[in-house]
């Protein structure tokens, strides 16, 4: 999934959201993302630069924010690549994915 940002920004954090086990109809969230990677791009057609790999903790809060290790470059697009989930064989659910950053100084 690729997100087009309203302006080029220094991407500092990303937030992943999934329902908690408490509100899941089955009591499990095996369709939640587990490992994922985030890439920054200046155009929507380039391969992208790896900004970080992260793990969504299924036992943690349903909304989890991850700090990118090197928020120095400016990007117009951010790509989310899901690498694994918590065990669902057919699909992975992402309830919300947010990108946080700062506008470059003039």
Longest dimension (CA), the chain: 51
The total of structural domains in the chain comes to 1
Q: What is the mean pLDDT of the chain?
A: 94
Tell me what pLDDT residue 106 has.
67
Beta carbons of 81 and 39 less than 8 angstroms apart: yes
Token pair recorded at residue 3: 């997100």
Report pLDDT digits (tens) over 50-101.
999 999 999 999 999 999 998 889 999 999 999 999 999 999 999 999 999 9
Its domain, for residue 48, covers 2-102
Tell me what pLDDT residue 60 has.
93
pLDDT surpassing 70 at residue 20? yes
With CA atoms as reference, report the closest residue to 64 among 94, 23, 102, 24.
94
* CATH code of the domain covering residue 89: 2.60.120.260
């Amino acid at each position: 999934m690729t997100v087009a940002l309203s302006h080029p920004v220094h991407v500092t954090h990303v937030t992943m959201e999934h329902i908690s086990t408490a509100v899941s109809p089955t009591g499990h969230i095996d369709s939640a993302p587990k490992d994922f990677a985030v890439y920054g791009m200046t155009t929507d057609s380039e391969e992208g630069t790896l900004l970080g790999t992260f793990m969504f903790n299924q036992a943690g809060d349903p909304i989890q924010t991850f700090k990118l290790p090197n928020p120095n470059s400016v990007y117009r697009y951010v790509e989310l690549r899901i690498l694994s989930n918590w065990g669902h064989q057919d699909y992975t659910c992402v309830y919300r994915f947010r990108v946080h950053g700062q506008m470059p100084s003039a």
